[in-house]
Amino acid sequence: MSRHGEPHEHGEHGERGKRGVSGASGELGETSRYVFSYEPLGEPGAGPVDTSERDRRDAEVGAFLNHVAELGFEAGPKGLELRSVDVATRTCAFRQEREVDPRPPVRAPGEESGGAVLLGSPSWAHLAHLVGELPFLFSFREYGPEGGPELRGVDAPTREWADVLVEHRGEQWRVRVALEGRERPVEFPGMEIGELFGEGDYRRFLLPGTTDVLDAGV
């Protein structure tokens, strides 16, 4: 359901292929940083991409984001929390928190492990679920008069919030998503972000004091 009550259907984004993960660790101040790397997508902006090529890349990126989400759910209870995701290079980084958030993810009764995360869950669970839902953004490229944005990554420097990094009409934007103190679950972030840009009213959500951060309550 869209923010204006219009239903939307989302198709599958391809099957997961073979995935390779490599790890590296290093010190960042008093935290540890863990990086998982995938093969690059290629140079962005290298010319028009046909539909079949774009669909192939969407499927690969969707599989990557789903795997990152799985890693987020597995690592969160151990104090390893997702820090960033880069779609172009298909890499993600985790940080080791000093104190593990003891709260388990809260889900609806009977909901499978991949289902929505409800209020009362730790921030790392909301973040992992957010990442796993972002492939739906690909379905909104042609939405509305402005068209949807291209996903570039996720930046989560704090447990309080994360920014979804997108490009729209040649401009870079950060869509802020609260991870703590939410009033509703993170449900359809890909759809909401696609509609936000496609409808063309995104600039009114610019966070005061910033030039590229949008806070639309996603």
Mapping DSSP onto H, E and C, the string for 74-117 reads HHHHHCEEEEEEECCCCEEEEEECCCCCCCCCCCCCCCCCCCCC
Contact predicate 127/162, CB 8 Å: yes
pLDDT above 70 covers what percent of the chain? 75
At 167, list the tokens. 């490009």
How would you list the strands of the sheet with 161-168, edge to edge?
A: 23-28, 31-37, 91-96, 80-86, 150-155, 161-168, 171-178, 213-214
Sign of CA dihedral 180, 122, 119, 206: positive
Radius of gyration of the chain (CA): 17
CA distance readout (Å), 122 to 21, 92, 94, 119: 25, 20, 16, 9
Q: What is the pTM of this model?
A: 0.78
Please state at what angle helix 123-133 crosses helix 189-198, rounded to 10 degrees. Answer: 60
Q: What pLDDT is attached to residue 48?
A: 58
Tens-digit pLDDT profile for residues 76-112 = 999 999 999 999 999 999 999 999 998 999 988 867 6
Q: Can you tell me the distance from the alpha carbon of 176 to that of 187, in angstroms, rounded to the nearest whole number?
A: 15
Average pLDDT over residues 148-177: 98
Separation between Cα atoms, residue 153 and residue 112, nearest integer Å: 26
Q: Where are the beta strands (DSSP E) in the chain?
A: 23-28, 31-37, 80-86, 91-96, 150-155, 161-168, 171-178, 213-214
Q: Is 204 exposed, middle or buried (0-12, 13-18, 19+ CB in 10 A)?
A: exposed
- pLDDT tens for each residue of 23-51: 333 333 444 444 444 443 444 444 555 68
Please tell me the chain's helix, strand, coil percentages from 3-state DSSP, rounded to the nearest 5: 30, 25, 50
